[in-house]
């Protein structure tokens, strides 16, 4: 499944590598060079672009929902305290 677009091989990155890094791409976690190569690939690949768009729309939906629904401060404090207590009770290695 390591195919490149046949459009004159305008992309230097195969499909499997693009899809493997699509979340890093969407999160802006890649170097400028890798990001540019993925962007080039998506511009010409009819197989990867729809997958990318689906993931992008889904990620933006999740981001919007997560900003709309927040836990009350008292719940967040209790959860943080539980995490601190759990970490404090672990044996030192």
Which structural domains are found in the chain, ordered by start?
15-89 (1.10.10)
pTM for this model (two decimals): 0.59
Range 78-90 burial, b when 16+ CB lie within 10 A, else e: eeeeeeeeeeeee
Determine contact, residues 26/53, Cβ cutoff 8 Å. Answer: no
Considering only the C-alpha atoms of the chain, give the largest distance between any 2 of them, rounded to a whole number of Å: 60
Q: Model confidence over 20-46: pLDDT tens digits? A: 999 999 999 999 999 999 999 999 999
35 close to 63: Cβ distance less than 8 angstroms? no
Look at residue 8 in the predicted model and tell me its pLDDT.
46
């Amino acid at each position: 499944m390591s195919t490149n677009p046949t459009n004159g091989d305008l992309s230097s990155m195969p499909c499997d590598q693009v899809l493997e890094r699509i979340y890093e791409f969407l999160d802006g976690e890649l170097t400028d060079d890798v990001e540019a190569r993925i962007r080039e690939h998506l511009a010409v690949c009819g197989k990867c672009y729809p997958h990318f768009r689906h993931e992008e729309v889904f990620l933006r939906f999740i981001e919007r929902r997560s900003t709309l629904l927040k836990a009350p401060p008292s719940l967040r404090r209790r959860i943080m305290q539980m995490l601190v207590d759990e970490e404090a009770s672990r044996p030192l290695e």
